[in-house]
Amino acid sequence: MGLLNLDGRAALVTGGGTRVGVAIVQALARAGCDVVIHFATNAKGAKAAAADVEATGRRAAVLQADLRDRSAIDALARSARGAFGGIDVLVHNAASFERVVPGALSAAAWDGAMALNATAPYLLTVALAESLRERTGCVVAITCLSASRPWKNYVPYSASKAALEHLVRGLAVGLAPHVRVNAVAPGTVLPPSDYEDGKLRRMRERIPLGRFGDPDDVARAVVFFAENDYLTGQTLGVDGGRSVT
C-alpha cells in the first residue's frame, strides 16, 4: 500500500506549544491534519502554534491540562475528541527534563519523571483508544537516546523514557491491528542554552554526523510514522548516529 493520506485527519500533540512540539504541530498541519495543541503552562506558545496551523488552512484547537493529574488526562481526552469529532494521530511529546545529580536522587524526582513521561502517555492512550480504533489511528511517543544510554545526572528522566519505550512495544501488541504505536528517540536537539562552548563542542564531536539535531528532524519522523501503515512497535533513533558510537 502507499502512504496514508493525512488530509483532514485530526491529531493531538501534547506539549505542542514548546520547542520540538511546535515543529511537530507544524509538520502535521502541513501534512493535512487538523491539530489539537495541548499545553500545561505555555499558553502563549500554544496559541502561536495554533496560528501556524491555521495559516496552512487547517483547523486548530488549544487545550490546557496538567498531565500529572489523572483526572485532567480524562478531561483532555474528552475535549480533544470533541474538538474535531475524534483523534486519528496521538503524539506524546510533553515531558519533564530535570537534572538530578546522584547525590540528590529522591522519591519526588522519581515520581515526577514517571508521572509525566510514562504514566501520562499510558493513561492518555487508554483514554483515546476507542477513538483511535474507530479511525484506525496511530500513536507516536517522543522518547530519548537516554532510554538506552542512561545519563548519570538524569537517572529518573532516563528511566522514565525507557519505560515509555517499553510501553510503546506493549501497546503496539495490545492495540493491534487497528492502532499502530511507535516511538521517535531524538539525540541532542536544542541543547540547553547554559551549556558552555567547550561542552557543546565535545558533545558534537561524539555525533557521527557532526551536528546537533533540529526540531524538524524529529517532526519529519513523526509524520513518517503517521503515514506508514505497516510500522508498529518500532523506535526510530533520530540522533545523527550517536546511538551506534
- Give me the residues paired with residue 39 across strands: 64
**Under CATH, what is the fold of the domain 10-238?**
Rossmann fold (3.40.50)
What residues act catalytically?
A: 157
Radius of gyration of the chain (CA): 17
Per-residue model confidence (pLDDT) at position 245: 86
DSSP notation for 191-233 = --TT--HHHHHHHHHTSTTSS-B-HHHHHHHHHHHHH-TT--S
Nearest-CA neighbor of 63 among 113, 28, 100, 25?
25
Structure confidence at residue 1 (pLDDT): 58
Please tell me the pTM assigned to this model: 0.96
The domain segmentation of the chain, as residue ranges, is 10-238
pLDDT by residue for the chain (245 residues), tens digit each?
A: 568 999 999 999 999 999 999 999 999 999 999 999 999 999 999 999 999 999 999 999 999 999 999 999 999 999 999 999 999 999 999 999 999 999 999 999 999 999 999 999 999 999 999 999 999 999 999 999 999 988 999 999 999 999 999 999 999 999 999 999 999 999 999 887 788 999 999 999 999 999 999 999 999 999 999 999 999 999 999 999 999 98
pLDDT at res. 2: 64
**Per-residue pLDDT at 233:** 98
Cα separation, 185 vs 15, in Å, equals 16
Distance, in Å, from the CA atom of 159 to the CA atom of 56, rounded to the nearest integer, reads 38
pLDDT score, position 236 = 97
